Amino acid sequence: MQILDGKKVSEDIKNEIAAEVQKMKDNGEKVPHLAAVIVGNDGASLTYVGSKVKACERVGFESTLVKMPSTTSETELLKKIKELNENDDIDGFIVQLPLPKQIDTQQIINAIDPSKDVDGFHPENFGKMALDMSTFIPATPFGILELLERYNVQTNGKHTVVIGRSHIVGRPMSILMGRNHFPGNSTVTLTHSHTKNINQITTQADIIITALGVPNYLKAEMVKDDVVVIDVGITRVADETSEKGYKIVGDVDFENVSKKASFITPVPGGVGPMTIAMLLKNTLLAREQKRMKK
């Protein structure tokens, strides 16, 4: 069994990006600039956005953090997005989800300029991804592809089972794993809460990608020997022995499933760190695309 170490690979990617940025600085060129918009005071979102800002500093990007109160109206947020769309200094930006109830999330995503949509959620970018055209791939699926590629995990002709059908992970992964190049070329089964006899499907899988958000959902008896397991789930579970009072748990019963797996991602330290690294990579790509248009 080999651990797919997202922490290590994300550091490698950041080092590669930092080297690119240093070249830009040496040539007197503008460095990439990533902005993040956060509405409200959700603890997990604040932590996540904070780590994005730190990651920007680490690789030499410029970064802007736009904080808006939880009472912000949809009109006010749309106005802010228009400003960011029109600000030529900003190469890419994200709007941190989830948004407060008074705001229509899809309206906000639709308002982002596709050329600055480094989260890859805009319908134009999602459509391009589905058609296998060059575009921004959502950061978490992009990170999973990168892990599979860097560890040379064979996907060609394999049966991939995706658990969960969210627009952020499940659905994009089901498309990407079936595309006509590596990583891809696998036969994909997309499962979800209405799938019957899921155990029968998962026990046939060569690769399982689970993004359900149910702690320890995937048990050892649900997988076959030498399976590849990608665990996207992140759930806080109360733990009195921990200083924080909780621990982070994935969708996979890691202790038991890892005994049967050929490759597996840990939680934490697997897919999570890759998400931020790939967001930086998308921002670098946005900056390059903008430069080529000039």
- Residues identified as active-site: 52, 96, 119
Among residues 105, 130, 124, the alpha carbon closest in space to that of 37 is found at 105
Contact call for residues 233 and 250 (beta carbons, < 8 A): yes
H or E element at residue 123: helix 123-130
**Cβ partners under 8 Å of residue 98, min gap 6:** 42, 45, 105
**Cβ partners under 8 Å of residue 238, min gap 6:** 245, 246
Q: Residue 11 CB: number of other CB atoms within 10 A? A: 14
Contact call for residues 118 and 34 (beta carbons, < 8 A): yes
**Beta strand extents in 139-212 (DSSP E only):** 159-163, 187-191, 207-210
**Cβ partners under 8 Å of residue 277, min gap 6:** 9, 10, 13, 14, 17, 55, 143, 146
Per DSSP, 218 falls in state B
3-state secondary structure of 178: coil
Contact call for residues 93 and 35 (beta carbons, < 8 A): yes
